[in-house]
Amino acid sequence: MGDELAPHQAEIWNNYGGQRYGRYPVQVNAHALDPDLATRGVLDFIRVSGEPEREVRNYEDWCRASFGDVFAESFMLRYARKV
């Protein structure tokens, strides 16, 4: 290749379980989720969107305040936990 860089467009798909694949971010691609999980996630997101702002002390608080518990627990926090 030398000094040339070959451009590459990444094609990334996430496995959401049950042979369901979708793109990131999951909140925008909820159609790829199990219908029950998508419904609970969207309803929870609507719920937290109508709540007054709360104190955010860390990433977990921010995820829950921004997206609701369903998306936070099923996606954001699941991949951010220390092993």
pLDDT tens-digit readout, 62-81:
999 999 999 898 877 877 77
Tell me the per-residue pLDDT of 25-55, one tens digit each, with 9 for 90 and over.
666 677 777 889 889 989 999 999 998 888 9
Domain holding 31, by residue range, is 14-80
- Quick check: is 9 in a domain? no
Q: How many folded domains does the chain comprise?
A: 1
Phi, psi of 53 (to 5 degrees): -60, 145
**Amino acid in the structure at residue 34:** D
Buried b (16+ CB within 10 A) or exposed e, 22-52: beeebeebbeebeeebbebbbebbeebeeee
- Quick check: is 24 in a domain? yes
- Quick check: is 26 in a domain? yes
- Quick check: is 1 in a domain? no
